[in-house]
Structure 1
Amino acid sequence: MDIKEKIHSLSEDLLKNIERLVVINSQLGTPAEGMPFGPGPAKALDEALSIARELGFKTVNLDHYCGYAEMGEGDDIVGIAGHLDIVPAGGDWTYDPFALTRKGDYVYGRGTTDDKGPVLEALYAMKLLRDSGIRLNKRVRLIMGCNEETGSRCMQHYNKVAEELSCGFTPDANFPCIHGEKGQVTMTAHSQNTRIISMNGGFVFNAVCDFCTTVIPAEDGLKEKLEAAFSESGLIQYHLHESDGLIQIDAKGVSAHASMPALGVNAAGVTFACLAKAGFEDDFVRFYNSHIGTACDGSGLDLKFQDAYGDLTLCNGIVKTENGEISCTIDIRFPVTLSTEQICTMCQNRLEDSDGYIEIQNLTEPLFFPRESPLVEALYKAYTDVTGDTANEPLVIGGGTYAKSLKNIIAFGPEKPGMDYHIHGADEFLLVPEMEEAVLIYMEAIKNLLAI
């Protein structure tokens, strides 16, 4: 039996174990003793470590911040770091997000691609290598974290209590491999200067706001003007209802990851644009449209920029009204040739005026490995040797991974070029043939890293 046949023979077993993780709602919860990120992530880690032990690996639980499965001996460690936490289900799912639903080669469920499925693909790659009798001149360690989606504090803990990695990868992005990750700035826009009675939309800051419900005071002829504006808006659907002196607007857009906001349709942004087009006079409507808007390029904050590795992007994920204040989140991913200091300087004159203000909250520097570095070459070779694809070159992406938290690793798979797996959106999925191929790619990657 050749290696591809062997992987295929394990496919159903791999899917059953992925299901054991997908059924656990492991989004960030309320911390409790022994559960720093709440019961869901802790339960997912316990289950993942149990799967690893069943497959014959030594396991270690690092205080439920993260844990690892390991094989081999030696001082050097080839690390593979994936995460078991998820973003909220959100959106309009066709299938239960917390069940594994298979339709042909498509397997649906939250975490199938981001990142529970890839964690176990890497674990099975380790199992197959171990069972093949390959000489392990280094330890190979699969680290499973519980807080990647909301701050990566799990890897901060790992760095405090565990050993540094010699080299490795995180299976939490794209093939062929990632040699750079854009920097990130998160902000929140605020104002108490608004006539909007309520406005609420979006469910996470790092995905395009895909739904929005807004209530405003009714005015003569306003509903008709809004109908005209929304009819040309590009929304998936919308509904306007007027009663008791109020107009309610329900807008449905399209979710997309914050690193690629142009793939989505921002329901909140479209609503603000339509309010202005219909003549609804409001300070925050004016502030949003002039500072944020629907362009996704940061131009309203004087941040429009691109370099050889990509464009700056801006995503509005959440909008809400609370205690008389309206606010919205802003997630900016900026090219690797800029720094956070430069970004702050570029936008400093656009953060506040009489209509509203923007607060900078978190700053993350970009990550970059030269294309010719041994780590990049080793992983890229694993991909091309298995797939034969030499047309696609190593990438710089807008997403952020554990590569920014752990030394000497870069992101590597599992998403194939040109595919949208709906991560952070409804109906996230994996494809069974790609799952099996990823196991083989990760086997080759580990072998190449053992040789560095």
Structure 2
Amino acid sequence: MDFSFKRLAATTLILASLSSLATPAFANITPQQSAAILKSFSDAPVTDFRQFLTTLAKSDLAKTDDLGSAISTFQGNKTLSAEQQNEIYRLLGIYARVKYGNAALETLRELVAIPTFRVDGVAQHDNPEFIKIADKIKSLAQAFNLNFRNVDNRVYEISLEGAGEEVVGIHAHADVVPVTPENWVLPDGTKLDPFKVTLIGDRMYGRGTEDDKNGIVVTLYAMKIIKEEKLPLARNFKLLVDTTEETTGDAIPYYFERNPVPNYNLALDGGYPVVIAEKGYGTVMATFARRKAEGQGAEITSMTGGLATNQIPSASVATLITDKPAELAASLLKAGGEYVKHNGGDFTITTKVDGNDVKLTVTGVSAHSSEPESGVNPVARMLDFINSLDGKVALKHNHITDAARYAADNWGLDYLGGKLGVGFSDAFMGPLTTSLTYVAMDDKTFKLAVNLRVPKGKSPEALKSEIADKIGAWSKKTHIAATFDYSVAAPMYRNPEGEWVKALLAVATENLGMEHKFGTSAGATSVHNLPNGVQFGLAMPNVKYTGHTDGEFKTVEQFLLDLQVVTEMMSRIGQLPKL
């Protein structure tokens, strides 16, 4: 054991007895000072943390930033003050970037290259791509001298052992939402491969770069560093890699039926700094039986939308068949221009003749369905536009026009439940959101989903009943045959107390230059129902979340910041004598 870290652990225990009386200790290293330290090591190789500190102590930065005292005290195996102790943790996080930043970036590329999305008819645990990523994570864990368990290919468990029986669970997931490859095109025409990290400027494009393979990578490297530097831990850490977070959500419950639940649970699948509230997840799934088209005019034979209920795509395409395709395309284009003009002008409607078919495309802005305000929903606009064509462009009536009327009458372009009259809001968690997302059609049915994100204010039962009553009344009035399935989960709201949340909040806000307060999220994670469950990054609030979008990306700078923050967090949480 490195004696310096052993003394640091002892210092932590001594300081703990004073924690209830003392004011919180801060690491007096600002983001600007961290950036200067990183710049000074841009061309300087490092072998280990001690050598990193020795080099830093000799620099002008150590004198300017008053770091010499903390470094010399640590290197001299002397007792550190609370502030000095936290400065050492901060420097360990910075060291993580210097030593392993490039290696972590390469590991992210390797994981993104494995297409771990759901395949119809194949369970995740039987999907060869999940077996492949499990083997990759296993090889990384073993190379890092970490314990690895594959729990029936549902959850991959990587352990970092400490003293005591307490366990901190860190949650990330290996599965990703599906992609529509033709939508992965940048505004300048650059075509992207969703499963190959493409670096353009500071952006790393690729499915899973933001949600959530980055969380797996930074945690593995943080564990590696703590193991290498022989940092004594007061508790155990388990990285739990979920395989069904984006789909059925049954992998984590399967794991906990067979394994103890961690005492504390952190999801690296949400927002900074520390998110203590998550909206409940809900779905209204409408199913329309396919029926023979009736009436005169063109027939809509297909329509695309999101490939998952939590995904707002960048485009929706409807195919229409007619014996006068050029005439139909011109009529749709004219009507589309008027529709765009009267509905915000922030999306496009185009047509293309393909034999006797006309391809009608509504292009908006892709978004995660937890943040509909950050996108422009083409699914909602396609359905509303189709419904608006009645009396303008002759269309036969079928299951797709039925769905269009349902969407237009009950949901419209509003994503706050106002059209249906079910909207409400919580002062902290924000409003109910209602997004038209998933579209699917088979030989028998056409399905259309509305994704709900539910804050405090109404019980799931009350909201579900209210929506069902209103849609039921609409069905009775219109005589449109459809079935509706409703699911609404309760929101999560925590009032966390203890040294652990104080430390989490300090680490995130100090490193990221954020206001020192807890946050809320519209996204639900795997810690939603777990004890002491909070989100700890890895997305910045007030910056558009690109997970689930066409053209998902993570910036290199933010990824490296995540590595720095998670390393510091695990070191600090790991050595607190009492959480």
Task: Give TM-score, length-normalised by structure 1.
Answer: 0.90
Matched residue of 2:463: which SS? helix
Compared CA separation, residues 321 and 113, structure 1 to 2 (3 A) = closer
* Aligned residues of 1:152 and 1:405 also touching (Cα < 8 A): no
Q: Which residue of 2 aligns with 1:108?
A: 205
Structure 1 letter corresponding to 2:489:
T
The question of whether the paired residues in 2 share the 8 Å contact of 1:301 and 1:350 is answered with yes
Are residues 449 and 358 of structure 1, via their aligned partners in 2, closer, same or farther at CA, if it must alter by over 3 Å? farther
Work out whether residues 312 and 333 of structure 1, in 8 Å CA contact, stay in contact via their aligned partners in 2. yes
1:84 to 165, 171, 174: 174
Residue of 41, 45, 61 corresponding to 2:150: 61
**Partner residue of 1:143?**
240
Give the whole-Å Cα distance in 2 for the aligned partners of 1:245 and 1:141: 58
Measured in 2, the distance between the counterparts of 1:279 and 1:191 equals 19
Distance 1:231 1:314, change over 3 A: closer
* SS at 1:299 equivalent: coil
Aligned-partner Cα distance in 2 for 1:355–1:361: 18
The structure-2 alpha-carbon separation of the partners of 1:425 and 1:127, relative to structure 1 and needing over 3 Å to count, comes to same
1:328 aligns with 2:448: yes
Deviation for aligned residue 1:110: 1.2
Contact 1:199 / 1:320 at 8 angstroms: preserved in 2? Answer: no
Q: Within 5 A, what are the aligned runs for 1:38-57? A: 38-57=127-146
For 2:100, give the aligned amino acid. L
Superposed, 1:163-182 pairs within 5 Å as: 163-182=260-279
1:26 corresponds to which residue? 116
Contact 1:167/1:375 (8 A) holds in 2 = no
Query: Is the strand fraction higher in 1 or 2?
Result: 1
Asked if 1:130 corresponds to 2:227, the answer is: yes
Output aligned runs, 1:247-262, within 5 Å. 248-262=359-373
Partner SS, residue 485 of structure 2: strand
Q: State the AA in 2 paired with 1:292.
A: W
Per the alignment, residue 425 of structure 2 pairs with 306
CA contact 1:185–1:332 (8 Å) conserved in 2:
yes
Distance in 2 separating the partners of 1:80 and 1:370:
19
Work out which of the residue numbers 161, 176, 179 in structure 2 matches 1:72.
Answer: 161
Q: Quote how far apart the aligned CAs of 1:89 are.
A: 2.5
Residue 31 of structure 1 deviates from its aligned partner by: 6.9
Q: Which amino acid aligns with 1:368?
A: Y
Structure 1 position 206, deviation (Å): 0.8
Return the alpha-carbon distance in structure 1 between the equivalents of residues 202 and 314 of structure 2: 27
Could you tell me which residue of structure 2 aligns to residue 95 of structure 1?
Answer: 192
Residues 157-198 of structure 1, C-alpha deviations (whole Å, 9 max, x = no match)? 110111210113011011112101101111212335776532
Residue in 1 aligned with 2:285? 188
Match of 2:335 in 1: 226
CA distance in 1 between partners of 2:235 and 2:494 (Å)? 23
Q: How does 1:393-408 map to 2 (within 5 A)?
A: 393-404=517-528, 406-408=530-532
- Pair 1:399–1:175, CA change in 2 (3 A): same
Question: How far 1:369 moved relative to its partner?
Answer: 0.7
The structural deviation recorded for 1:306 is 0.5
Q: Specify the alignment match of 2:514 in structure 1.
A: 389
Aligned to 1:294: 413
Assess if the C-alpha contact under 8 Å between 1:198 and 1:320 holds in 2: no
Identify if the C-alpha distance between structure 1 residues 51 and 72 changes in structure 2 by more than 3 Å, giving closer, same or farther. Answer: same
Shift in alpha-carbon separation, 1:10–1:92, aligned structure 2, 3 A: same
Deviation at residue 22 of structure 1 after TM alignment: 0.9
Taking the aligned partners of 2:120 and 2:377, their CA distance within structure 1 comes to 29
Matched letter for residue 563 of structure 2: V
* C-alpha deviation, 1:361, in angstroms: 4.3
Distance in 2 separating the partners of 1:61 and 1:374: 32
SS in 1 for 2:257: helix
Query: Counterpart of 2:381 in 1: which secondary structure?
Result: helix
The yes-or-no answer on 1:434 pairing with 2:553 is: no
Aligned to 1:402, the other structure's residue is in SS state coil
Native 8 Å contact 1:179 1:395 kept in 2: yes
**Which residue of the partner structure matches residue 364 of structure 1?**
489
CA distance in 2, matches of 1:263, 1:102: 23
The residue type equivalent to 2:411 in the other structure is: I
> How far apart, in 2, do the equivalents of 1:399 and 1:251 lie?
26
What is the CA RMSD across the aligned residues, in angstroms?
A: 2.7
- In 1, the alpha carbon distance for the partners of 2:96 and 2:321 equals 65
The answer to whether the 8 A contact 2:265-2:527 is kept is no
Does 2:317 match 1:198?
Answer: no
Deviation, 1:403, is 0.9
Give the unaligned 5+ runs of structure 1. Answer: none
- SS in structure 2 of the partner of residue 144 of structure 1: strand
Q: Is the 8 A contact 1:30 1:38 kept in 2?
A: no
| Offset of residue 63 of structure 1 | 0.8
**Cα 1:240–1:428 shift into 2, 3 Å:** closer
Q: What whole-Å deviation, never above 9, does each CA across 1:415-438 have from its counterpart, x for those lacking one?
A: 112222521112222222222221
1:45 partner amino acid: A
User: CA 1:97/1:416 → structure 2, altered by over 3 Å: closer, same or farther?
Assistant: same
Higher percent of residues as helix: 2
1:290-336 Cα distance to aligned partner (Å, 9 max, x none): 11211111223332110112100011112344446433111101103
Question: For the structure 1 residues 243 and 77, does the alpha-carbon distance in structure 2 shift closer, same or farther, using more than 3 Å as the test?
Answer: closer
Q: Match of 1:85, as an amino acid?
A: D
Q: Within the alignment, does 1:272 sit opposite 2:392 as a pair? A: no
Shift of 1:136: 1.0
Structure 2 distance, partners of 1:377, 1:188, is: 41
Q: Identity percentage over the alignment? A: 23
One of 189, 192, 214 as aligned partner of 2:318: 214
The change in CA–CA distance for 1:436 and 1:241 in structure 2 (over 3 A counts) is closer
**Would the alpha carbon gap of residues 441 and 275 (structure 1) be closer, same or farther in structure 2, given more than 3 Å must change?**
same
Alpha-carbon distance in 2 for matches of 1:78, 1:151: 24
When the two structures are superposed, what TM-score results if normalisation uses the length of structure 2? 0.72
Match of 1:300, SS state, is coil
Q: Which amino acid letter does the alignment assign opposite residue 213 of structure 1?
A: V
* Residues 328-366 of structure 1, C-alpha deviations (whole Å, 9 max, x = no match): 111101103432112112213222312354522433221
Change beyond 3 A, Cα 1:321–1:130: closer
When structure 1 is superposed on structure 2, of 223-232 and 258-267 the one drifting more is: 223-232
Offset at 1:62?
0.5
Alpha-carbon distance between aligned partners in 2 of 1:323 and 1:444, rounded to the nearest angstrom: 54
Q: Deviations over 1:63-113 (max 9, x none)?
A: 110111112233111111110111112232432221222234322221112
Question: Hey, what's the Cα distance between the residues in 2 that align with 1:17 and 1:153?
Answer: 27
